[in-house]
A and B are shown apart, each in its own frame.
Chain A
Amino acid sequence: MLKVADLDVAYKDVQVLWDITFEVNEGEFVALLGANGAGKTTTLNAISGMLNVKKGKIEFLGQDITKMPGYKIAELGIIHVPEGRRLFPEMTVRENLEMGSLFPEAKAKRKETMKKIFEQFPILEEKKNKEAGTLSGGQQQMLALGRGLMALPKLLILDEPSLGLAPVLVTQIFNNIKEINNEGVTVLQVEQNVVQTLKMCHRAYVLENGRIYSQGTGEELLNDEHIKEAYLGI
């Protein structure tokens, strides 16, 4: 579904990604793992067209999207739920959700999708007329997920959905994401919360210093000596 090949990205003269190659198949739950500054968010931003790619190719459903502007990539069905949620703080919960469904297909099903999201996250229905900036961190993350789902995405890109959440909320959000994936949405997730993510995803890639260091199924990586040492502290 998504194929990234030999991707190099640089901010001005400073190169941050080298030869990134990976793919995500339809229906899969793939994780990108790594420490701070490994290049995870940069990889996601390159996919969703937010920065210029130096070298390499990104393909989605057979179409070259390497140089496509961000809004067109969203229209193709790649929806990015960014790090730090990035809601529209002075718009209500309902308006934020509506902003997720701008394209004709999603707009036609706006009410229906919103009803489904309110079933999955009842707290959002309760607060639908409140401004997004007044929600708690967990509620904001639910809203960010819900806003992404409103677009009826083919590929949902999640950048650290567990950031800044209490452990009990992390488990809840992860369960929500698993549920979304089980309903057929392909998920590409970046995480620093390595153990929980590896237990839940189908496959994972580990980034180190801007390169793909290793890859495998969740189980394989959980048993990998280097991963154990570097990320699990065992």
Chain B
Amino acid sequence: MEDMWIKFGQTVICGILLGGMYSLIAIGMTLIMGVMKIVNLAHGALVMVGMYVTYVCATYYGIDPYIGMFIAMPVLFLLGCLIQKYMINRLVEVDSILPENQVLLTVGIMLVLTEVIRLIFNSDYRSVTTSYSSEAIYIGAMSISVPLVIGFIIAMAFTFLLHMFLTNTDLGKSIRATAQDRDAAVYMGVNSSKITMITFGLGAALAAAGGSLLLPMFYLFPDVGHLFTAKSFIITILGGLGSTWGAAIGGLIIGLAESLGATYISMGYKDVVGLVIFLLVLLFLPGGIRSLVKR
């Protein structure tokens, strides 16, 4: 009987901790969705590129992944800005391309990023091992892996910092204003193309941060991005499109659901649990978590 409770407690805690890192990735996607009104299907590929940057730092230069992420983030910020400015923005300027078709470009970007990485690193599974990779903290009889705990704490810190940035600085408020009414923001003197570029960069940097935090726990290969695109898409739908807090909570729910699925159904079916939740949300709560909180 007691064993059962230990197993359950451990599953719940691990799930929430993992979910914190999913949240960070999904918040990046939801920010981009809010401002640009498109689903960024290259988001997982950006996570993957960020993971490779951290991987290279760790393997070739001996930089700890938790420090390497501070190199991966600015690199991905820059990459995100360049993609937005020189590729996506070009498309937005053409009137005859419908906005809903702009999403196709992100599929193309995803393919190019994945194949370029495959060209450089080939398809081998790689992993980063650190001295603490296999260490665990014990709470009573429950053991919680150390990278999960550190990852969760850093992810929550970033979420908090992002929240402060969006609510307390003029730049952050301009991002929210552009997401709520782009034309009105321009009337107030917001340079909307600059804001869009910064938002895409910021989303990519958050993707890199989330990926780097997951690196000590996940195998790394060029196609790992698809997994993260699917997860963050499910989370943003669950949270309500464009809602930052919705994505944060949605991430925790998906992490928890996967963890419970892996423990009580089967390891192989853990992603199915997320997809089932996705379908249920679409059927019964199309507005996501955000629609529950709103007015």
A residues lining the B interface (CB < 8 Å):
12, 48-50, 69-71, 74-75, 79-82, 86-91, 95, 98-100, 102-103, 107, 133-134, 147, 151
Asked whether, in the complex, the Cβ of A88 is within 8 Å of the Cβ of B187, the reply is: no
* Tally of contact residues, B, Cβ under 8 A: 19
- Residue B279 lies at the interface, judged by CB distance under 8 Å to chain A: no
B185 A99 Cβ-Cβ under 8 A: yes
The answer to whether A91 and B187 have CB atoms under 8 Å apart is no
A102 close to B187 (CB less than 8 A):
no
Indicate which residue in A50, A86, A88, A102 contacts B176 across the interface (CB closer than 8 Å): A88
**Cα-based distance from A207 to B177 in the complex (angstroms):** 33
B189 near A91: Cβ-Cβ < 8 Å: no
Residues of B within 8 A of A80 (CB): 187
Q: Which B residues lie within 8 Å of A91 (CB)? A: 173, 176-177, 180
- A151 and B176 contact, Cβ closer than 8 Å, known pairs A82-B183, A88-B181, A134-B295: no
Question: Is A75's CB under 8 angstroms from B170's CB?
Answer: no
B112 within 8 A of A: no
Given the interface contacts A88-B177, A98-B170, does A71 sit within 8 Å of B186 by beta carbon? yes
| Known contacts A88-B176, A91-B173, A102-B174: A71-B191 contact under CB 8 Å | yes
Inter-chain contacts of A82 with B (CB < 8 A): 183-184, 187
Measured CB to CB, the closest approach of chain B to A148, in angstroms, equals 8
**Which of A12, A70, A95, A98 is packed against the most chain B CB atoms within 10 Å?**
A70
- Asked if A86 and B183 sit within 8 Å, CB to CB, the answer is yes
Known: A90-B180, A91-B176, A107-B170. Is A99-B188 also a contact (CB below 8 A)?
A: yes
Query: Given A71-B192, A102-B170, A102-B174, A86 and B186 touching (CB < 8 A)?
Result: no
B295 partner residues in chain A, CB cutoff 8 A: 133-134
Contact of B174 among A74, A81, A99 (CB under 8 A): A99
Q: How far is the CA of A19 from the CA of B157 in the complex (A)?
A: 58
Residue-wise interface mask of B (147-190) relative to A, using a CB-CB cutoff of 8 A (1 in contact, 0 not) = 00000000000000000000000100110110011011111111
Q: In the assembly, what is the distance between CA of A75 and CA of B95, in Å?
A: 27
The 7 closest A-B pairs by CB, nearest first: A74-B189, A86-B184, A70-B186, A88-B180, A80-B187, A71-B191, A88-B177
Which B residues fall within an 8 A CB radius of A?
Answer: 95, 170, 173-174, 176-177, 180-181, 183-192, 295
- Tell whether A87 pairs with B170 under 8 Å between CB atoms, given A102-B189, A151-B189: no
Distance from B182 Cβ to chain A, minimum over Cβ atoms (Å): 10
Chain A residue contacts of B189, Cβ below 8 A = 71, 74-75, 102-103, 151
Question: CB distance B183 to A98 under 8 Å?
Answer: no
Give the nearest-CB partner of A102 in chain B: B189
Provide the residues of chain A in CB contact with B176, threshold 8 Å: 88, 90-91
Q: Is the CB of B186 within 8 A of A99?
A: no
User: In the bound complex, do residue A88 and residue B170 qualify as a contact, i.e. CB atoms below 8 Å apart?
Assistant: no
Report yes or no: A102 in contact with B190, Cβ–Cβ below 8 A. Answer: yes
A50 with B183, Cβ < 8 A, contacts A71-B190, A102-B190 known: yes
- Closest CB-CB distance, B244 to chain A, in whole Å? 11
| Beta-carbon contact of B180 and A74 below 8 Å | no
Among A74, A79, A98, the residue within 8 A (CB) of B173 is: A98
- Could you list 8 A-B pairs, sorted by A, with CB under 8 Å? A50-B183, A69-B191, A82-B183, A82-B184, A86-B187, A89-B180, A91-B173, A100-B188
Closest residue of A by beta carbon distance from B193: A69
| A residues near B177, Cβ cutoff 8 Å | 88, 91, 99
Residues in A with CB closer than 8 Å to B183 are 50, 82, 86
**CB of A197, distance to nearest CB on chain B (Å):** 22
Once bound together, how far apart are the Cα atoms of A102 and B188, in whole Å? 8
B166 to chain A: closest CB distance in Å?
10
State how many angstroms separate the Cβ of A77 from the closest Cβ of chain B. Answer: 10
Are A86 and B174 closer than 8 Å at their CB atoms? no
Q: A81-B187, A82-B183, A82-B184 are in contact. List 11 more A-B contacts (CB 8 A).
A: A49-B186, A50-B186, A74-B186, A80-B187, A88-B184, A91-B173, A99-B188, A102-B174, A147-B188, A151-B188, A151-B189
